[in-house]
Chains A and B, each alone.
Chain A
């Protein structure tokens, strides 16, 4: 039995947003990396936040494990935690920086920007 009303919200619980992509701006200067990163000065990395609760939507691309865990969590929240809201698709960004020999290097770094979030 799912512990939710017809709007999909749980009784007696503060409603939290579903797992989704949220803004996260990375500023290399604040990280103290501006002495070796030439460009960009920062970028939009995004992050994943929200709950993975029953029923899981297909756009969250849940793994079979996440479906089982979410189902068990919906039946008994004390025995099993909900599945995790994490990045499921990431994209690269280009960075221009100086290496330890002060050579200027261009590099494409994989998995820097969150494109999609899902339940795992």
Chain B
């Protein structure tokens, strides 16, 4: 998948300057100037270096591939009904870790920073996708019950069965968390609660199972094997591509200010060289 590669910015400097001096750019709004400034090499040090490259999950790549292929075939509107009429699908990568001191591993907390999801977007679906690694020594009897809870409540959100034979092969367990996500947004709208937290446990009969037995432990996972929370949203108004640019500029600016702060301390009237000293 060629397009998935992240390429570091390498637009020649003279091309960028030429663009800035274009008469159209001179008439541009402050925002357009921001964009052009952002494109200049001086601001470039805030851009992601290749080492920070983000590896998209195969699920997101397959969504992109499928929907863009459908678009080319003109299957646009009808096709999107299958994805709950969403026009935006966001994946949040799990930030939780397993406590290695806990043996056996009975419960796991899955943590997602959902602060970037705009309140203007209507949430039309959400699912938690957890990768389960194949286990060679799987038990051959009894059905497992995968159960999901909010971290601060005992009210079960969702459950599904897992056949012991299935645990012999790797795969993704998908759990619907739409209601929980909706409730989180309603309750924490004004509190700006950043994280959404789920707790997972698996039982066989009445007994809680060691999650390692089922290949659910998270140590040594690659980026693509980490659990993701997938949010399906629909824009309430027509989307403007520049909204994303605005957000990027804002976040880069805040990173830049943090980096600049220590350097700007000093007496009034001092030049940059003196302040650095």
A35, B9: Cβ atoms under 8 Å? yes
Separation of A36 and B52 alpha carbons in the complex (Å): 12
Separation of A100 and B250 alpha carbons in the complex (Å): 8
Is B61 part of the binding interface, using a Cβ–Cβ cutoff of 8 Å?
A: yes
Hey, which chain A residues are within 8 Å of B76, CB to CB? 91-92
A101 to chain B, nearest CB (A): 4
B60, A96: Cβ atoms under 8 Å? yes
Separation of A39 and B61 alpha carbons in the complex (Å): 9
A106, B239: Cβ atoms under 8 Å? no
Q: Which of A39, A97, A101 contacts B113 (CB 8 A)?
A: A101
How many A residues touch the partner, as a band?
20 to 34
B89, A38: Cβ atoms under 8 Å? no
Q: Which of B3, B88, B115 contacts A39 (CB 8 A)?
A: B3
Is B183 part of the binding interface, using a Cβ–Cβ cutoff of 8 Å?
A: no
- Mask of A88-109 contacts with B, CB within 8 angstroms, 1/0: 0001111011111111111111
Chain B residues within 8 Å of chain A by Cβ, number: 47
Separation of A57 and B2 alpha carbons in the complex (Å): 42
Q: Total contacts A to B, CB within 8 angstroms?
A: 107
Main secondary structure of the interface of A (DSSP, over half): strand
Given contact pairs A92-B76, A93-B71, A99 touches B3 in the complex (Cβ within 8 A): no
Separation of A35 and B11 alpha carbons in the complex (Å): 12
B91, A103: Cβ atoms under 8 Å? yes
Is A77 part of the binding interface, using a Cβ–Cβ cutoff of 8 Å?
A: no
Chain B: CB-nearest residue to A41: B3
Is B7 part of the binding interface, using a Cβ–Cβ cutoff of 8 Å?
A: yes
Q: What residues make up the interface of B, taking CB atoms closer than 8 Å to A?
A: 1-4, 6-11, 15-16, 38-39, 47-48, 54, 56-57, 60-61, 63-64, 67-68, 71, 76, 80, 87-93, 113, 115-116, 238-239, 241, 244-245, 247-248, 250-251
